[in-house]
A = this chain, B = another copy of it.
Amino acid sequence: MRLRHIEIFQAIRQTGSVSAAAQLLHVSQPAVTKVLQHAELQLGFPLFLRIRGKLQPTPEALALESEVEKVTKSLQGVQRLAKSLRHTPEQSVRIGAIPALAQSLLPPSILEWKRSYPDIACELSSDHSRELVQQLLMREIDLALTLNFSGHPGLTTQVLANGALVALASKGYWPESESHKALPLADLASASLIGLSSADPLAAKLDNYLVNVSPPPQISISVQTYSLARAMVESGAGITVIDPFTALSASTATVCIRTLTPPLPITLYALTRAHEPPPHMLADLLQIFGTRARELLDLPQVRARNA
Cα-based distance from A63 to B60 in the complex (angstroms): 36
Cβ of A119 under 8 Å from chain B: no
Please, how many residues of chain A have a CB less than 8 angstroms from a CB on the other chain? 28
Copies in the complex: 2
A64 close to B44 (CB less than 8 A)? no
Cβ of A3 under 8 Å from chain B: yes
Cα-based distance from A221 to B295 in the complex (angstroms): 55
Cβ of A285 under 8 Å from chain B: no
Min CB–CB distance A46 → chain B (angstroms): 11
Cα-based distance from A6 to B74 in the complex (angstroms): 12
For A50, the chain B residues whose CB sits under 8 A away are: none
Report A1-59 residues with CB < 8 Å from chain B CB. 1-3, 6, 43-45
- A39: nearest chain-B partner, CB-CB: B82
Cβ of A87 under 8 Å from chain B: yes
Cβ of A122 under 8 Å from chain B: no
Cβ of A160 under 8 Å from chain B: no
Cα-based distance from A70 to B64 in the complex (angstroms): 17
For A79, the chain B residues whose CB sits under 8 A away are: 1
User: Which residue in B45, B70, B85 is a CB contact (below 8 Å) of A77?
Assistant: B70
Known contacts A67-B74, A74-B70, A78-B64; decide if A45 and B85 are in contact (CB<8 Å).
Answer: yes
User: Which residue in B66, B71, B78 is a CB contact (below 8 Å) of A67?
Assistant: B78
A87 close to B1 (CB less than 8 A)? no
For A115, the chain B residues whose CB sits under 8 A away are: none
A64 close to B45 (CB less than 8 A)? no
Cβ of A191 under 8 Å from chain B: no
Min CB–CB distance A101 → chain B (angstroms): 27
Cβ of A86 under 8 Å from chain B: yes
For A67, the chain B residues whose CB sits under 8 A away are: 74, 77-78, 81
For A78, the chain B residues whose CB sits under 8 A away are: 1, 6, 64, 67-68, 70-71
B1 close to A3 (CB less than 8 A)? no
A87 close to B44 (CB less than 8 A)? yes
Additional pairs, 7, CB under 8 Å, beyond known A44-B87, A64-B82, A71-B78: A1-B79, A3-B75, A43-B85, A45-B86, A64-B81, A67-B78, A67-B81
Q: Which A residues contact B (CB, under 8 angstroms)?
A: 1-3, 6, 43-45, 60, 63-64, 66-68, 70-71, 73-75, 77-79, 81-82, 85-87, 139, 154
Residue contacts A-B, CB under 8 angstroms, 11 given: A1-B82, A2-B3, A43-B85, A44-B87, A45-B86, A60-B85, A63-B81, A67-B78, A71-B71, A71-B74, A71-B77
